[in-house]
């Protein structure tokens, strides 16, 4: 009942009839022209910035701007019309989908990449591997010190992704089975905050996108983040353990693999298409193309719309 009340309150706060709300006129918009905003996942921010830079350079009449803030912020921006595309490192929740529908919209998602949610510790930590049961104990607050989990050091400090970040909800669903986070925790607003917290605190553990293990993907090999490392993760001792990398993410052997979606409000895009073309659809088509998927791979993600061969 409480959950339904909160959902109703959120819907009431944002409910606006599309037929009554004045829509910004953009008569010159087409699939390769006009201006749109893209907002969402911090983990995918660098990759989406590179996509926008390449698209804008290719189509001089287009202006695609990209901002982070987290998956939840992306959905909020899509719902209130301040962004035309939301970048999510998880699927849209039923509650989010319902709020958009109550506002007269329809959320449609396009899977454009695969990512791995990396479990990171300070490089000085002696922990060698972690099962899902151990991770659930650590992030649920039942395992409070590193010796209990096979590591070195004292009391475990959680560098938690904030609830607006896709990592928060994905890990909670997959590892905590919908349960609550617990223990000594500090909520971090960005992936960069999590990396810095783990780098500077020997007893910290955090959750970030695989691509965040490297500070620069515009060179090859990419430049790793100093002071941190990813821990091999396994469903159980019997299942074996894997580190996140493009090969393990691509073949599914890394158990914390997750999709990256671009969501649009199809009600808005249908009107744009009828008026001459949707730049949001044009940009998603580019990201899904061979060139866009090459940029996906170059920024540490795994292409989702093209067959790929990952070489170790």
Residues 138, 218 within the same domain? yes
Q: What is the CA radius of gyration of the chain?
A: 20
Angle at 187 between CA 224 and CA 260, to 5 degrees: 60
Q: Hey, is 195 helix, strand or coil?
A: helix
The pLDDT score that the predictor gives to residue 186 is 83
The pLDDT score that the predictor gives to residue 3 is 39
Q: Around Cβ 196, how many Cβ atoms within 10 Å? A: 18
286 pLDDT exceeds 90?
A: yes
Residues 205, 298 within the same domain? no
In a domain, 217, yes or no: yes
Inter-residue contact 36 to 280 (CB < 8 Å): yes
Lowest mean pLDDT among 13-17, 209-213, 224-228: 13-17
91 band by pLDDT with thresholds 50, 70 and 90: very high
81 band by pLDDT with thresholds 50, 70 and 90: very high
- Strands (E) located in the chain: 34-40, 62-67, 85-88, 107-122, 130-131, 157-161, 185-188, 204-209, 214-216, 223-224, 228-230, 233-234, 257-265, 302-303
pLDDT digits (tens, 9 = 90+) for 33-70: 999 999 999 999 999 999 999 999 999 999 999 999 99
The pLDDT score that the predictor gives to residue 302 is 97
Averaged pLDDT of the chain: 91
Cα separation of 167 and 172, whole Å? Answer: 8
Residue for token pair 């319902």 = 98
Of 257, 276, 291, the position where a domain reaches its end is: 257
pLDDT digits (tens, 9 = 90+) for 227-242: 999 999 999 999 999 9
pLDDT digits (tens, 9 = 90+) for 188-206: 988 899 999 999 999 999 9
Residues 190, 64 within the same domain? no
The pLDDT score that the predictor gives to residue 14 is 46
Which residues span the domain enclosing 100? Answer: 28-114+260-303
**Residue 180 DSSP code:** -
11 pLDDT exceeds 80?
A: no
312 band by pLDDT with thresholds 50, 70 and 90: low
Residues 227, 274 within the same domain? no
Residues 80, 119 within the same domain? no
Q: What is the mean pLDDT of residues 151-160?
A: 93
In a domain, 310, yes or no: no
Q: What is the mean pLDDT of residues 217-236?
A: 96
As a residue count, the chain comes to 312
2 pLDDT exceeds 80?
A: no
Residues 137, 66 within the same domain? no
Q: Nearest CA to 155 among 85, 213, 202, 221?
A: 202
pLDDT, greater one: 118 or 22:
118
In a domain, 59, yes or no: yes
The pLDDT score that the predictor gives to residue 28 is 87
Residues 224, 235 within the same domain? yes
152 band by pLDDT with thresholds 50, 70 and 90: confident
Residues 32, 137 within the same domain? no
Q: What is the mean pLDDT of residues 107-122?
A: 98
Residues 152, 249 within the same domain? yes
Q: Omega into 68 within 30° of 0, i.e. cis? A: no
In a domain, 268, yes or no: yes
In a domain, 312, yes or no: no
Of 222, 238, 257, the position where a domain reaches its end is: 257
Residues 51, 173 within the same domain? no
Beta-sheet pairing, 85-88 with 130-131 = unpaired
15 pLDDT exceeds 70?
A: no
26 pLDDT exceeds 60?
A: no
Residues 59, 176 within the same domain? no
In a domain, 3, yes or no: no
Task: State the total domains in the chain.
Answer: 2
Lowest mean pLDDT among 7-16, 250-259, 272-281: 7-16
The pLDDT score that the predictor gives to residue 311 is 62
- Please report, for residues 40, 113, 145, 289, 309, the alpha-carbon distance to residue 303 in angstroms, rounded to integers and kept in the order given: 19, 5, 38, 10, 10
| CATH number of the domain enclosing 250 | 3.40.190.10
In a domain, 76, yes or no: yes
Phi/psi of residue 159, each to 5°? -95, 85
Residues 44, 134 within the same domain? no
Q: What is the mean pLDDT of residues 273-295?
A: 97
Cα separation of 85 and 284, whole Å? Answer: 9
In a domain, 20, yes or no: no
């Amino acid at each position: 009942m409480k959950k339904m009340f909160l959902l109703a309150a959120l819907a009431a706060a944002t409910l606006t009839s599309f037929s009554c709300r004045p829509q910004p006129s953009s008569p010159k918009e087409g699939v390769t022209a006009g201006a749109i905003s893209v907002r969402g996942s911090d983990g995918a921010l660098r990759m989406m910035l590179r996509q926008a830079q390449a698209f804008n350079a290719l189509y001089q009449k287009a202006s695609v701007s990209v901002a982070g803030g987290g998956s939840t912020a992306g959905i909020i921006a899509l719902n209130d019309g301040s962004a035309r595309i939301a970048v999510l490192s998880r699927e849209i929740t039923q509650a989010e989908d319902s709020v958009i529908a109550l506002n007269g919209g329809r959320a449609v998602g396009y899977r454009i990449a695969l990512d791995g949610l990396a479990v990171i510790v300070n490089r000085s930590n002696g922990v060698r591997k972690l099962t899902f049961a151990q991770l659930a104990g650590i992030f649920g607050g039942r395992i409070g010190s590193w010796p209990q989990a096979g590591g070195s050091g004292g009391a475990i400090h959680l560098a938690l992704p904030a609830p607006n970040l896709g990592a928060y909800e994905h890990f909670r669903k997959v590892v905590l089975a919908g349960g609550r986070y617990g223990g000594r925790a500090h909520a971090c607003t960005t992936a960069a905050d999590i990396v810095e917290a783990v780098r500077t605190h020997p007893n910290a553990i955090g959750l970030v996108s695989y691509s965040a293990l490297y500070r620069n993907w515009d060179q090859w090999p990419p430049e790793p983040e100093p002071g941190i490392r990813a821990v091999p993760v396994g469903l159980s001792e019997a299942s074996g353990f894997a580190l996140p990398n493009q090969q393990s993410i691509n073949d599914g052997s890394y158990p914390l693999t997750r999709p990256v979606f671009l969501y649009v409000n199809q009600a808005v895009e249908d009107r744009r298409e009828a008026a001459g073309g949707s730049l949001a659809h044009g940009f998603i088509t580019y990201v899904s193309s061979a060139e866009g998927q090459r940029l996906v791979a170059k920024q540490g993600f795994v292409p989702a719309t093209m067959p790929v061969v990952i070489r170790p």
